[in-house]
Structure 1
Amino acid sequence: MTLRRQTTLRLRQTIYAILAVSGAALFGAAGTAQETQPRETPAPEAPAETVKAPPLAMLTVIDGAIGPATAKQVADAVEAAEDARADVLILKIDTPGGLVTSTREIISSILESQVPVAGYVAPAGGHAASAGTYIIYATAIAAMAPGTNIGAATPVTIGGGMPGLPSPEDAAPQKDSGEDGAEDEAPARSSQPSNEDAMAAKATNDAVAHIRSLAELHGRNADWAEKAVREGASLSAQQAVEEGVVEFVAADMGELLRLMHGREVATSMGSRVLDTEGARIVEIEPGAMTKLLAILSNPNVAFILMLIGIYGLIFEFSNPGTIGPGVIGAICLLLGLYALNQLPLDYAGLALILLGLALMITEAFTPTFGVVGLGGVVAFVLGGAMLIDSDQPEFQLSWSVIAGTAVVSVLTLAALLGYAWRAQTRPVATGSEELAGKEAEVVDWANGEGHVWVHSERWRARGPHRLAPGDKVRIEKLDGLTLVLSGAPAVHE
C-alpha cells in the first residue's frame, strides 16, 4: 500500500470518528436538555357548561265516575312516573264520585307512590265530589281551578238516601209529661235506631275515620272533611283554600307548576322538595287494557254480554256442530263474568240469575211449554235488578236494559217453544214410522209374499194372498227389512 493511500485511509477514519463522537455528544446534550427542562403542563380546558334537563311532570286525567278502570289507570300512572323518575305526578280530577273499593285502591296507590302526587280539580266547572274528595285529601299537594268545587262526600245508600249519624235530638229519648207529671216512654222506645240506621251510621263513621286520617297525614282541615262526610258540605275553590282543604287555586297547568315549586311534601320515601318550575309535562294516556276495562266495567255491557253468552251456548247445545254460536257465546260469557267480577256484586242477585239461566236451559232441553222457561225469565230479571250492590247510578243496571233483556228472553223462549211445538205436530218424515200408511205398488206376488215399489225403491213384502202385479196397497208397518201390507186399500194423501 502506498503512503498516499494509507494517509487517505487514516484521514477518512479520523473524520468518521469525529463525526460519530460529535453526533453522540449532540444527542446526549439534547436528551439532557429534554430531561432537565421543566415540562410545560397544558392549561386546563375551561369546563363545558352543563345544561340541566328541565324537571319532568307527568299528568293523567280522571274524568267521570271512579271505577275499576280508574283504579288501574292511577296504578299504571304511578308506576310510569316512578320508572321515569318524574318530579311529580299530577292527577287532573273531574268526577261525581264512584265505587268505594276502587277509591280505596286509588288512595293506596297514591300513598305508596315514591313520586309526589298532586291533585288538581279542573277544568273550570268541574268538581271532586264524593270519592273525588277522598282522593284530593290523599294527594301530597292539592289545588283547584277557578270555578270548581269539592265536597259532598256522604255515603249514599242504594235507595238514594243519604245516611248519617242520628242527630242528638233524634238520638235522645223523647219525654212528654202528662197531667200527672209522668213521662211518656213510648216515644223513647220508638226513637231506637233501626238496623238500617245502624248500618248507615257504621258506614258514615268508617268514612269519617278514613278521611280524617288522610287529612291529618297532609296537615289539611280534618274538621271540614268530617263535615263533608256527615253533612254533605261543599266548598268553592277559593273557600277550599281559606278552609285549608287545598293549598292554592291555579288557573292552568303552568301556574300550578309554578305554585308547587319549592314546597316540601311527604311521599312513601320521606319528605321531598318539589322542583316543578318550568317542568316538561308528559300526559299518560290510559292503556288499551284500561280502556277495555272501562267498557266492560259498565254493568249494562257486562249484563248484555253474559246474556249473549248464555243464549249462544244454549243454541250450540240445542244444535251441536254449529260451532259459531258456541264460540261467540263462550267468549261473551267469559267477558261478562270478568266484568262483573270487577264490580260489587249482590250474591242473592247472582244466585237468582244463575237459577234463571238453569231454568231456561232446562226449558231448552226438556220443553215444558213455557212453565219452567218463564220462571227462569222472572228469576233472571229479578236477579239483574239486584245484581250490582252500588249507590252510584253509573254502576247500576239500567231498568231499560233489564226490560229489554227480559223481552228478548221471552221472545227467544217463544221461538224455542214454537219450534218444539211444530216439531211435535209435524208428520214423521223418516224411519219406519214414515212408511206406515203409505201407498205401495205390487211388482211381483206369490203365496202372500213378493216385492213392492215404494219411494222409488224395491222392497220385500208380505201380506194378503190375492195380489197381482200393479195393485195399489197400503203399508201397515215395517218388520225388520220386510214391509207388512194391509188388506185395506191404500190411503191417498
Structure 2
Amino acid sequence: MAHHLRKQGWLRALLIVFMLSLLLGLPLWTAAAETKAPPSAASAPGTAVFVVPVKQAIESGLQSFLERAFEEAEQASADRILLVIDTLGGRVVNADEIGDLIRSSSVPVVAYVQNRAMSAGAFIALNADQIIMHPGSTIGAAAVVDGSGTLIEDPKTVSHWVGAMRSAAELNGRDPEVAIKMADPYSEVHIKKLNKTYGKGEVLTLTAEEALQVGYSEHTAGSVEDALKYLGLDNRSIIEFNPSLAENIARFVTSQGIATLLLILGLAGVAIELFVPGFGVPGIVGLVSFGLYFFGHYIAGFAGMETAVLFAIGIGLLIIELFVPSFGILGILGIASLVGGILMAAYDTADALLNLTVAVIVAAVVVAVFSYIFKKRGIWNKFILEERLTSEEGFISAESKILLQGLEGIALTPLRPSGTVDIAGERVDVITLGEFIASGARVKVIKVEGTRVVVGEVHTN
C-alpha cells in the first residue's frame, strides 16, 4: 500500500515538473520554431518585393503573421508588398487591425485578388494602395454576419463596419457607394457605371471585370508575375514570405473552436489526474493541451511569459490545496490564477471568457462521468475507512454487557462517578449517573449501553 502511494506521488511530481517545463519553456520553443522562418529580405540583392499570402480566414493568427511580414519588409526597405488574397473573410476585429497595419505601412501595398476577397477580405483589399484582380475573381459581400452566417442587425455594429468600408474606399479615391452596398444589405444604391440598382436585402459582389469598370481594380492579371510586370516590378528580387511552422500551429490553435477544445481537454485531463490519480494519460493530455493553447497565443503575440507563469502557479496552488487544507484560500487563489492566465493569453477577453465558460461546463461533465466510472480510485477514498473489522476477517468485537442488567455487586473502589465493581466475582468497570458512591457500598446495574455499565447505590432500611 505504502509503495503504491509512493509510486502515485512520484508520478504526480513528474507530471508537475513536466507541466512547469512545458509552460515555462515557451520562449525556447518559439526560438527554435522561428529559425525555420523565411530568409530575411535584408540579404536580397537590390530592392525587393515581398509576396505575402492571405489565403485563410481573417483571424488573430493571420494578423500576427502579417505584422511580422510588414516589419521585415520595412526593415529591408522593400519596394512593395504584394498581398495575394484568397479568403472568404473572418473576424471584423482582426480585419480592422490589419487595415490599420496596411494604412500605416511605409512600404506601398498592392492587393492581388487571386480568387476571392470576400467580407473582411474585401476590407483588407480596399485599404491597399492598388488592387489587381485575377480573371474570374470576385470582391465584396462584406455584410457583417455571426458564426452561423446570420446577418447581424445591431445598428452600432453595422454602422461601424459600413463606415470603415466607406473610409477604406475613399482612402484611394474609390466610389464609396460601392463599398457601402458591399457592407450594408439594408441600403439601396444605384451604381451609374454598372447601370444597376441594388435594393434592400442585397449585398454587392463585383467580378474582376465589374471591379475594373467601377474603379475598384486597376488591372486584371492572370498571375502574380503578370501583376508584377504591370507594376514594373518584374526585375525586382521576389521574396515569397510564408508562415513558419510555429505560425501555422498558432493559427490553428488560436481559432475559436480549437482553442475551446484545448481548454476542455486541458481542464478535464488535469482534473482527472488530480482526483482520480494513477492513470497518467489524462494528465499528459491535459498538460499538452494547455501547452499548445499558450504556445499558440504566445506565437500569435497575444500571450507573454507572465501568462504561462500565472497559469502554472494556479495549477500548483490547486495541487497544494488537495494535500494541505487551507479552508479554501489556496483553492480560490489557484482558480483565480488559472482564469487570469487563460484570459490574459487571449486576444479578445470576452471571447476567451465565453470559451472558458463552455470549457468548464463540458470538462465538469467529463470529469464527473470519469470519476463515477472509476470512483474506487478517487482521491477522496484515502480519507474513507472502507475496511470492516468483522469476525470473518479475524477481528473479535467487544463482549456485550447486556447480561449484567439488574444484577447487584459491591463497589471495589470509590465511584467518582466511575470506578470498579465486583459483580458475581467479576471485576467490571462502571459509571454512576453523577453521584458519589463510597467503596464497599452495594450497587445495582440500572442501565447497559453497549460496553457502558451504569450503576446506582442500593439503600437498605
TM-score range, shorter chain: 0.5 to 0.7
- In structure 1, give the amino acid aligned to 2:117: A
Instruction: List gaps (5 residues or longer) in structure 1.
Output: 1-52, 164-196, 262-275, 345-360, 366-386, 390-395, 441-493
Could you tell me how far apart the structure 1 residues matched to 2:142 and 2:245 are?
31
| 1:269-280 alignment runs, 5 A limit | 276-280=233-237
- In structure 2, give the amino acid aligned to 1:203: T
Q: What is the CA distance between 1:318 and its match in structure 2? A: 2.7
Q: What is the CA distance between 1:161 and its match in structure 2? A: 2.6
1:152 aligns with 2:141: yes
Residue among 193, 206, 216 paired with 2:160? 206
| 1:28-427 alignment runs, 5 A limit | 55-122=47-114, 126-158=115-147, 160-163=149-152, 197=153, 200-231=154-185, 232-261=203-232, 276-318=233-275, 326=283, 329-333=286-290, 335-336=292-293, 408-409=366-367, 411-417=369-375, 419=377
Could you tell me how far apart the structure 1 residues matched to 2:63 and 2:209 are?
29
Could you tell me how far apart the structure 1 residues matched to 2:261 and 2:149 are?
25
Could you tell me how far apart the structure 1 residues matched to 2:347 and 2:53 are?
26
Q: What is the CA distance between 1:427 and its match in structure 2? A: 5.7
Could you tell me how far apart the structure 2 residues matched to 1:93 and 1:80 are?
19
Q: What is the CA distance between 1:259 and its match in structure 2? A: 1.6
Instruction: List gaps (5 residues or longer) in structure 2.
Output: 1-44, 186-202, 303-318, 324-345, 349-353, 397-461
Change (3 A) 1:87 1:425: closer
Secondary structure of the corresponding residue to residue 137 of structure 1: helix
Change (3 A) 1:435 1:72: farther
Q: What is the CA distance between 1:295 and its match in structure 2? A: 1.7
1:148-183, Cα deviation, whole Å (9 max, x unpaired): 1000001013554324xxxxxxxxxxxxxxxxxxxx
Q: What is the CA distance between 1:100 and its match in structure 2? A: 1.2
- Higher mean C-alpha displacement, 334-343 vs 288-297: 334-343
Secondary structure of the corresponding residue to residue 291 of structure 1: helix
Secondary structure of the corresponding residue to residue 97 of structure 1: coil
Structure with bigger RCO (C-alpha 8 Å, 6+ apart): 2
Secondary structure of the corresponding residue to residue 180 of structure 2: helix
Number of matched pairs:
292
1:204-223, Cα deviation, whole Å (9 max, x unpaired): 11111111111111111211
Could you tell me how far apart the structure 2 residues matched to 1:249 and 1:302 are?
39
Q: RMSD across aligned C-alpha pairs, in angstroms?
A: 4.4
Could you tell me how far apart the structure 2 residues matched to 1:223 and 1:288 are?
41
Q: What is the CA distance between 1:414 and its match in structure 2? A: 3.1
Partner of 1:357: none
Partner of 1:428: 387
Change (3 A) 1:414 1:337: farther
Change (3 A) 1:112 1:247: same
1:16-74, Cα deviation, whole Å (9 max, x unpaired): xxxxxxxxxxxxxxxxxxxxxxxxxxxxxxxxxxxxx6642111111121111110111
Could you tell me how far apart the structure 1 residues matched to 2:87 and 2:111 are?
12
Secondary structure of the corresponding residue to residue 132 of structure 2: strand
- In structure 1, give the amino acid aligned to 2:373: A
Secondary structure of the corresponding residue to residue 286 of structure 1: coil
2:64 and 2:301 in contact (8 A); partners too: no
Could you tell me how far apart the structure 2 residues matched to 1:77 and 1:340 are?
18
- In structure 2, give the amino acid aligned to 1:223: E
1:302 and 1:340 in contact (8 A); partners too: no
Higher Rg of the two aligned structures: 1
Percent same amino acid among aligned pairs?
27
- In structure 1, give the amino acid aligned to 2:79: D
Secondary structure of the corresponding residue to residue 63 of structure 2: helix
2:58 and 2:94 in contact (8 A); partners too: yes
- In structure 2, give the amino acid aligned to 1:202: K
Change (3 A) 1:338 1:283: closer
| 1:481-492 alignment runs, 5 A limit | none
